[in-house]
């Protein structure tokens, strides 16, 4: 459990598996916030193996998006449940979906 | 039905109840995920907000009828009506977004029925999820 975080310059890839809920969000949030910088240009969340997200998980994504000064946050291949929750919550207004784990 | 002592049991205990209910059912995982989301948001609210208003216990009951989850919550403490919360605007830009209210907002989006009543000094919440 937890997030798998990789850095490549000012690009950060974060893969989260399983569940991002009120039980796991606190630790995962701390782990991520310790590893990103305000100046990062791009954070890609790989949610291809995340089965479940609740509002506690959405708060993690919101915190990261607010943390970046001018960088962008991308969502890579969300599962259907996660995609539905992100859509309904209006999170695609400030997060973008991507089919690539590389920067454009 | 499961009963939780808000001062001794944890949110994890309460969530485990629905998880074990879902595991026993031979139903599609998407439907279970929707029910889990609604249940988690409501239970978390009781363990955080209602507890601050003096709630000490929570009873939850989950049933499945014809593909629909029926979730009942009963908790004590002050009047705490979740159906009045969660009126957020999902079109707000990032700068104006806050975490508050997102959980109940999601309940309202996924529930096909969401009702609250106050009887005998107890809060009662009924939710249906398809």
pLDDT, tens digit, 9 for 90 and up, residues B49-101: 999 999 999 999 999 998 899 999 999 999 989 999 989 999 999 999 998 89
Structure tokens at A98: 């991507």
- Classify A83 as helix, strand or coil: helix
Whole-number pLDDT of residue B123: 97
Average pLDDT (B106-130) is 97
**Per-residue pLDDT, A26:** 96
- Distance, CA of A46 to CA of A6 (rounded, Å): 11
Tens of pLDDT, residue by residue over A48-104, are 999 999 999 999 999 999 999 889 999 999 999 999 999 999 999 999 999 999 876
Answer whether B99 sits within 8 Å of A55, measured CB to CB.
yes
Residues of B in contact with A59 (CB under 8 A): 99, 102
Range of the domain at B22: 2-129
Q: State which H helix or E strand residue B34 sits in.
A: helix B29-45
Reported pTM: 0.95
Residues of A with Cβ-Cβ distance to B30 under 8 angstroms: 80-81
pLDDT at residue A44, rounded to an integer: 97
Q: What is the pLDDT of residues A2-25, one digit of tens each?
A: 899 999 999 999 999 999 999 999
What pLDDT is stored for residue B25 in this prediction? Answer: 84
Position A1 pLDDT exceeds 70: no
Burial class of residue A25 in the structure, from the number of CB atoms within 10 Å of its CB (0-12 exposed, 13-18 middle, 19+ buried): buried
3.30.360.10, 3.40.228.10, 1.10.10.10, 3.30.750.24: which CATH number matches A3-98? Answer: 3.30.750.24
- Tell me, what's the pLDDT at A104? 62
User: Phi, psi at residue B33, to the nearest 5°?
Assistant: -65, -40
**Looking at CA atoms only, how far is residue B26 from chain A in angstroms?**
18
| Contact between B30 and A81 using a beta-carbon 8 Å cutoff | yes
pLDDT score of A37 more than 80: yes
DSSP characters for chain B? -EEEETTTS-HHHHHHHHHHHHHHS-S-HHHHHHHHHHHHHHHHHIIIIIHHTT--EEEEEEEEETTEEEEEEEE-SS---GGGS----TT--GGG--STTHHHHHHHHHEEEEEEEEETTEEEEEEEE-
Q: Where residue B49 sits, what CATH number does that domain have?
A: 3.30.565.10
Share of chain B above pLDDT 90, in %: 88
Q: Who among B12, B41, B106 is closest to A89 (CB)?
A: B106
Helix (H, G, I), strand (E, B) or coil at B41: helix
């Amino acid at each position: 459990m937890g997030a798998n975080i990789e850095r490549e310059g000012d690009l950060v890839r974060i893969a989260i598996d399983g569940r991002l809920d009120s039980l796991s969000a606190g630790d995962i949030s701390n782990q991520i916030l310790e590893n990103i910088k305000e100046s990062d240009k791009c954070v890609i969340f790989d949610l291809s193996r995340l089965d479940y997200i609740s509002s506690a998980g959405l708060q993690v994504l919101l915190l990261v998006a607010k943390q970046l000064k001018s960088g962008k946050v991308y969502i890579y291949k969300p599962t259907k449940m996660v995609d539905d929750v992100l859509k309904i919550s209006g999170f695609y207004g400030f997060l973008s979906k991507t089919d690539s784990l590389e920067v454009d | 039905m499961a009963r939780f002592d808000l001062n001794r049991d944890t949110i994890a205990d309460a969530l485990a109840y629905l998880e074990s209910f879902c595991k026993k059912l031979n139903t599609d995982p998407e439907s279970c995920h929707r029910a889990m989301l609604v249940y988690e948001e409501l239970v978390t609210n009781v363990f955080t907000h209602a507890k601050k208003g003096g709630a000490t216990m929570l009873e939850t009951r989950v049933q499945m009828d014809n593909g629909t989850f029926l979730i009942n919550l009963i908790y004590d403490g002050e009047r705490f009506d979740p159906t009045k919360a969660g009126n957020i605007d999902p079109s707000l830009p990032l700068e104006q977004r806050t975490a508050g209210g997102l959980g109940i907002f999601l309940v309202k989006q996924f529930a096909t029925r969401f009702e609250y009543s106050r009887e005998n000094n107890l809060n009662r919440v009924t939710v249906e999820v398809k």
